[in-house]
């Protein structure tokens, strides 16, 4: 059985691990097609400053869902040679580049083991320009005209290209993608006035990167709503009981009426109340009126009153672990309503910043170096730098850094370097664009859906390409879960077709 993985970033790393668990005893020829000079790290986990850290506890960053402490043990053995397990806790997080080493070394060890068990593993450093079904198999086309015939092809082509709503690409003082900050920000003059478009974790990392290199100039974070990444709460022990994957699946199977967003919101509210929230607390956290650094300051103070079971973490986890069940079932009008009302809050709560980072931002704000503005309207080049206009404000900036990603429904974009591939999928009919971004896939398996609405046996997608069918695909836990579903589908299909079976030699 030959499996071709298109892409070699973090999504591909999660998929390889899932395939190893599902197909370890099979006869597999694994082909990884990735044109860059390194595998598995992805852009966000490459070498960078130590100040740029992961934003989740180790149990959420493990590559093995059956071993929650896998990442923690690796860090204890490898980080700086100290062997101190407390280097990764709910409050202290390792640098992103250290997590990149975890990805690299775990995949290297796994592939060595698979090769020893009889797998054949090939890395082709070329770009894929087409993928098409070939009977009941698939054919992957490379930029040099060569093709890779395979039983299954999985598209893991990464994140979209830089979000550029103000058409500034090409301007010498406009930075389109801040990672890795050590190299992308080193041209920013220490006294420059900097405008950062976005208020999420990428924007926060941009501020930390500027601060780490001794930046003295004014920094302004701007977005339409001014909602920053939430402040991560202390460790809690509670788990969802009202809104679990089993309960949501059962409701979807039993109900004769379509699922509506109001029902999802009601379940989340019931979960929050069961976990100890008051109506006032729920209203405060879901209000868009509380924004900017005042919101960060309040959330940092609220941490002192968090109980052992924290309603906000329990409810957020309930939403994360069930979104792949309820999102595909919502009518499009409700999905659009979600984007308008809840998308920014979702991003804030599912990608929170460490408390220490929040403290650093407040320190910079109190010194007058950092400000946050909402109501972003326009960014235009000026004689010197840029003029940024927000509600009731006009800000002059020497440098503008794009650190925001639009909701897919608002601005569907194509992953970096994948334009030809996307065009080929649509042109040959084996792919279909989703109105909310990305390509349509079968929710349960990740199989691409063709122009006639039929799932393709041999073609799968993982990560950003599925962002219409699957709303939330940016976190390692979700990539791990979706990888498990794809690996399970390939394993089941290969059993039914006999692909990949080891053949015992006949006795002579």
Please give the domain boundaries of the chain with CATH numbers for all domains. Answer: 6-160+410-497 (3.50.50.60), 174-229+353-402 (3.50.50.60), 245-350 (no CATH)
Mean pLDDT of 80-99: 70
The CB-based long-range contact list for 70-75 (8 Å cut-off, 24+ gap) reads 70/106, 71/99, 71/102, 74/102, 74/105, 74/106, 75/102
Residue 290 CB partners (closer than 8 Å, separation 6+): 284, 298
Q: Going by C-beta distance under 8 Å and a sequence separation of 6 or more, which residues neighbour residue 287? A: none
Cα Rg, the chain, nearest whole Å: 23
Buried b (16+ CB within 10 A) or exposed e, 77-116: eebeeeeeeebbebeebbbbbbbbbbbbebbeebbeebee
What percent of the chain lies above the pLDDT cut of 70?
93
pLDDT, tens only, 421-446: 888 999 989 999 888 888 899 999 99
Strands 370-373 and 386-390, sheet pairing: unpaired
**Distance from C-alpha of 281 to C-alpha of 264, rounded to nearest angstrom:** 19
Angle among Cα 15, 19, 21 to the nearest 5 degrees reads: 120
Residue 18 buriedness (CB in 10 A; 0-12 / 13-18 / 19+)? buried
Decide if 377 contacts 390 (C-beta within 8 A).
yes
Kindly indicate the confidence band of residue 404, based on its pLDDT and cuts at 50, 70 and 90: confident
Residue-wise pLDDT tens digits, 361-378: 999 999 999 999 999 999
Which residue, among 462, 454, 451, has the nearest Cα to 486 in the 3D structure? 462
Q: Identify the CA nearest to 288 among candidates 353, 412, 199, 389.
A: 199
Three-class DSSP labels, 395-422: EEECEEEECCCCCCCCCCCCECCCHHHH
Lowest mean pLDDT among 129-133, 194-198, 450-454, 466-470: 466-470
**How far is CA 310 from its chain centroid?**
24
SS3 478: helix
DSSP 51: T
Would you tell me the crossing angle of helices 10-23 and 96-116 to the nearest 10 degrees? 30
pLDDT of the residue at 131? 93
Bridge partners, 448 (sequence order): 441
Say how far apart CA 324 and CA 314 lie, in whole Å. 17
Amino acid 82: pLDDT: 46
Phi-psi region of 108 (alpha: psi -120 to 50; beta: other; left: phi over 0): alpha
| 495: its two tokens | 């059993």
**Separation CA 479–CA 60 (nearest Å):** 11
Residue-wise pLDDT for 119-146, tens only, equals 999 999 999 999 999 999 999 999 999 9
Q: In which band, very low, low, confident or very high, does the pLDDT at 464 lie, cut at 50, 70 and 90?
A: confident
Give the angle 466-471-473 at the CA atoms, nearest 5°: 65
pLDDT value at residue 508: 31
CA distance 199 to 229: 7
Whole-number pLDDT of residue 498: 66
Distance of alpha carbon 218 from the chain centroid: 30
The Cβ of residue 368 has, within 10 Å, a number of other Cβ atoms equal to 8
pLDDT digits (tens, 9 = 90+) for 305-323: 887 789 999 999 999 999 9
Question: What residues contact residue 266 under an 8 Å CB cut-off, 6+ apart?
Answer: none
Element (H, E) at 481: helix 476-497
Contact (Cβ atoms closer than 8 angstroms) between residue 224 and residue 375: yes
| Pairwise CA distance, residues 173 & 400, whole Å | 7
| CB of 430 closer than 8 Å to CB of 459 | yes
- C-alpha 251, offset from chain centre: 28
Q: Kindly provide the b/e burial profile for residues 256-272, where b requires at least 16 CB atoms within 10 angstroms of the residue's own CB.
A: eeebbbebbeebbbebb
- Cβ-contact 140, 148 below 8 angstroms: yes
Predicted structure pTM score = 0.89
Tell me the C-alpha distance between 29 and 118, whole Å. Answer: 9
> Other C-beta atoms within 10 Å of 322: how many?
22
DSSP-assigned letters across all residues of 85-131: GGGSSSS---BHHHHHHHHHHHHHHHHHHHHHTT-EEEEE-S-EEEE
End-to-end CA distance of the chain: 26
Q: How far apart are CA 94 and CA 74, in angstroms?
A: 12
Q: How does pLDDT run across 202-219, given as a tens digit for each residue?
A: 999 999 999 999 999 999
Mean pLDDT of the residues in the chain: 89
Q: What is the pLDDT of residue 506?
A: 30
């Amino acid at each position: 059985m030959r499996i071709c993985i298109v892409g070699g970033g973090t999504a591909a790393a999660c998929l390889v691990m899932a395939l190893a668990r599902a197909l370890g005893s099979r006869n597999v020829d694994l082909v990884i097609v990735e044109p860059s000079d390194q595998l598995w790290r992805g852009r966000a986990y490459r070498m960078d400053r130590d100040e740029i850290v992961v934003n989740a506890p180790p149990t959420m960053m493990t590559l093995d869902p059956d071993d929650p402490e896998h990442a923690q043990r690796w860090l204890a053995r490898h980080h700086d040679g100290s062997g101190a397990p407390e280097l990764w806790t709910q409050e202290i997080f390792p640098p992103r580049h250290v997590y990149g080493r975890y990805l690299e070394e775990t995949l290297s060890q796994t592939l060595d083991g698979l090769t020893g068990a009889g797998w054949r593993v090939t890395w082709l450093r070329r770009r894929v320009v087409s993928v098409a079904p070939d009977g009941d198999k698939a054919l992957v086309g490379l930029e040099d005209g060569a093709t890779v015939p395979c039983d299954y092809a999985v598209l893991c082509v990464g994140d979209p290209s830089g979000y550029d709503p103000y058409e500034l690409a090409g301007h010498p003082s406009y930075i389109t993608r801040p990672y890795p900050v050590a190299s992308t920000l080193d041209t920013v003059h220490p006294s420059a006035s900097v405008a950062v478009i976005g208020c999420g974790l990428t924007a926060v990392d941009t501020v930390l990167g500027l601060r780490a290199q001794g930046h003295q100039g004014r920094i302004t974070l701007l977005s339409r709503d001014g909602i920053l990444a939430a402040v991560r709460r202390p460790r809690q022990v509670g788990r969802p009981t009202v809104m679990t994957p089993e309960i949501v699946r059962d409701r979807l199977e039993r109900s004769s009426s379509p699922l509506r967003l109001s029902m999802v919101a009601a379940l989340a509210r019931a979960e929050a109340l069961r976990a100890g929230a008051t109506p006032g607390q729920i209203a405060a956290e879901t209000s868009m009126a509380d924004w900017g650094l005042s919101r960060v300051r309040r959330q940092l103070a609220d941490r002192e009153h968090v109980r052992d079971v924290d309603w906000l973490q329990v409810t957020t986890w309930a939403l994360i672990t069930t979104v792949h069940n309820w999102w595909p079932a919502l009518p499009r009008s409700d999905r659009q309503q979600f984007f308008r009302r809840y998308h920014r809050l979702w991003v804030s709560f599912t990608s929170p910043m460490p408390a220490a980072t929040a403290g650093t931002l407040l320190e910079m704000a109190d010194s007058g170096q950092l400000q946050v503005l909402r109501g972003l309207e326009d960014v235009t080049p000026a004689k010197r730098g840029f003029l940024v206009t927000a509600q009731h404000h006009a800000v002059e900036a020497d440098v503008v850094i794009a650190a925001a990603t639009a909701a897919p429904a608002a601005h569907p974009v194509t992953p970096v370097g994948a334009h030809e591939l996307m065009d080929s999928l649509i042109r040959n009919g084996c792919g279909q664009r989703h109105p909310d971004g990305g390509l349509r896939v079968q929710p349960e398996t990740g199989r691409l859906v063709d122009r006639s609405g039929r799932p393709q046996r041999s073609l799968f997608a993982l990560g950003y390409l599925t962002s219409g069918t699957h709303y939330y695909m940016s976190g390692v836990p979700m990539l791990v879960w979706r990888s498990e579903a794809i690996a399970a589908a390939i394993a089941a299909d290969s059993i039914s077709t006999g692909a990949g079976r080891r053949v015992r030699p006949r006795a002579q």
